Chains A and B, each alone.
Chain A
Amino acid sequence: MANEVDFDELLGKYKSDPFDYVDIYSVHTGRVLFKTVEGQEVAAASGEWLQIPGTALYEINRERNPRIVTSHTNGIVAAINTELDGQFVEAGVKLMTIKHPLKKKEIIENILKEVLSLFPAPESAKYFFAMDIQSRIDKKGARAVTIEPGDEILTMSLMKRDTPVYYKGERGVIHSVYFKPGISVAQGEPLLGVCAPEKLSLIQKIITRVKADWDHDH
């Protein structure tokens, strides 16, 4: 993490273009049929348990097993590779991009993700803190808990199989927690944002500055 952050550059970037561009890829091989068109507004999953699916984006059919893929984010379909409609694609082919309008909280989170060391989910599963870490968090709060490489920090739970997750990364404090117990996290998504203890004040400065600037301008 850099010691100095160019606030003007960071904020300028988000002020000029306060959107996330979420690329949507084919989830596996199969024949693709688009269910949306460029410029269409799409919604994310909703409901108390996120049980109401988002807008259908595309159908992919592999060996006569059709699967509808829905949006996980709200926004506008900004670009769509229409030439792939009805075609067979490999897994991981970019199909479209959703332009998602960012809220202030999301902008702060995005900036923090650029300056924190992110610890990603090793597998798509549900996660909870290891008992020792949880008791330290309960006593002092996450930002007072320092973790070291090799520490057992989380338990990954999948199909009644609990696996300890060991921290890999620089020694630091747990600044941001991106998962909720009981909610699945996709492989590669960040679970924790960690920063060196001496840099906590810098992080706080970023948050304060973004909040102030954003409130002032928006």
Chain B
Amino acid sequence: MTTDPPPAAGNHGAADNRPTPAAVLQRLRSDSAAAEIPDGCDRTAILRYGEYVGSVIESRVALPRAMDHARTLLAASARAGRSVASGTVILADTMDRSKGRFSRSWHAPRGGVWGCMIEAQTLLPQSRSFIPLAAGVACCEAVREIGGTRSILRWVNDILVDGRKLAGFLVEGYTEPVHSEEFALVGFGINVNNVIFPDELAESATSLCQVLARTIDLTEFTTNFLARLAWNFGILHHEEARGLREEGFSGDQGRHLLLDRWLNLSDTIGKHVVYGFDVINDPQYQAEVSGLDAGGAIILRLADGSVKTENCGEVRYLPAGAP
């Protein structure tokens, strides 16, 4: 066992994107007071459950990849006999090795919100499936609040505006090497003030700045996004607690509340789509989306009338009337 100290955490003054834990908490509290929640939902409990998100924020000028940095931080801390606070957020103004699923490249120049949140794995397996939904819902809400009212969620958690991708999320598990403690690393990439994309993304990507035709205060937007992330993770823990008490979930008709929130922000239901585990390189079949099941899996109706439920993979929308 080594005794190397963990990499230093904290703000680096030169970074563009510098939200503070205090500002995130203040925003969370003011948002929660105004949030519409169903009867029977415990606002105070949601707040309490979610307050850990953003309790530590590390802002960097540049990182190769935030997820890798999080792993290094977790491993080094464990070796030094320390813990990393659950809810720690790592941000970088630029990343030169960022990626999406299946090693797809993700362009992360100055102007965007790039980073990840470290979640100690305290949720039950049945709740963990909602983590990617919570991240997408949080971002879509933050984008709409700033004026991006046409933003929608495409299953699982892509944020689109007018068919172009504005943000994407990737959740990766990590088990630290000393005590085998498990973490979920919630990676996020949100195009905010960056307007130049590589050629291969030029037709499919957009940014908030382009959508709203103005420059956005990056730190303020990130503060709002993290507060939304905290609220939605609070809901995730709240719903799990209700489930364990056998009280049922608090959404419409007993649905998981996060699923309700996702459905309210998404246009995926009813779309004609192509589905694939890796839909870019290996599209599998076309279908119409008929709904989501109780766990968030997508229900697809094929041309022959049969129905498939997929709990992972991805979809791309097809033009209306496509065969």
Contact = CB atoms under 8 A, between A and B. Distances in A.
B311 A159 contact: yes
Nearest to B103: A131
A161 B308 contact: no
A159 B156 contact: yes
Nearest to A125: B312
Contacts of B125: 123
B175 A164 contact: yes
B306 A161 contact: no
Interface stretch (B47-55, B87-95, B129-137, B231-239): B129-137
Interface string A19-53: 00000000000000000000000000001111111
Interface in B275-310: 276-278, 282, 284-285, 295-297, 302, 304, 306-308, 310
A182 B282 CA distance: 10
B292 to A, nearest CB: 10
Contacts of A51: 285, 302, 304, 306-308
Interface in A143-184: 156-164, 166, 181-182, 184
B242 interface: no
A126 interface: yes
B114 interface: no
B68 interface: no
B173 A164 contact: yes
Contact of B174 (A49, A50, A164): A164
B277 to A, nearest CB: 4
Interface string B307-320: 11011111000000
Interface in A38-95: 47-53, 63
A187 B88 CA distance: 31
A124 B311 contact: yes
Contacts of B97: none
B170 interface: yes
The interface size bin for chain B is: 35 or more
Interface string A112-137: 00000000000111100000000000
The interface size bin for chain A is: 20 to 34
A52 B171 contact: no
Contact of A182 (B175, B284, B307): B284
Given A123-B125, A181-B277, A160 B307 contact: no
Contacts of A166: 175
Nearest to B295: A159
A163 B173 contact: yes
Contacts of A126: 277, 311-313
- Residue picked from A50, A159, A163, A182, most chain B C-beta under 10 Å: A159
Contacts of B278: 182
A66 to B, nearest CB: 14
Nearest to A162: B172
Interface in B167-220: 169-175, 184
Nearest to A156: B173
Nearest to B300: A51
A153 to B, nearest CB: 13
- Residue picked from A52, A160, A162, A182, most chain B C-beta under 10 Å: A160
Nearest to A128: B277
B311 A160 contact: no
A125 B311 contact: yes
B250 interface: no
B131 A161 contact: yes
Given A182-B276, A182-B284, A160 B304 contact: no
A63 to B, nearest CB: 8
Interface of B: 101, 125, 128-133, 156-157, 169-175, 184, 254, 276-278, 282, 284-285, 295-297, 302, 304, 306-308, 310-314
Query: Which 9 A-B residue pairs are closest in the complex by CB-CB distance?
Result: A163-B173, A182-B277, A161-B171, A51-B306, A160-B156, A160-B132, A159-B129, A51-B308, A157-B312
Given A159-B297, A162-B172, 14 more contacts: A49-B285, A49-B302, A49-B308, A51-B306, A63-B254, A124-B311, A126-B313, A156-B173, A158-B129, A158-B311, A158-B312, A161-B132, A162-B173, A184-B311
14 contacts: A49-B308, A123-B125, A126-B277, A157-B277, A158-B128, A159-B130, A159-B295, A159-B296, A161-B128, A161-B171, A162-B101, A162-B171, A162-B173, A163-B184
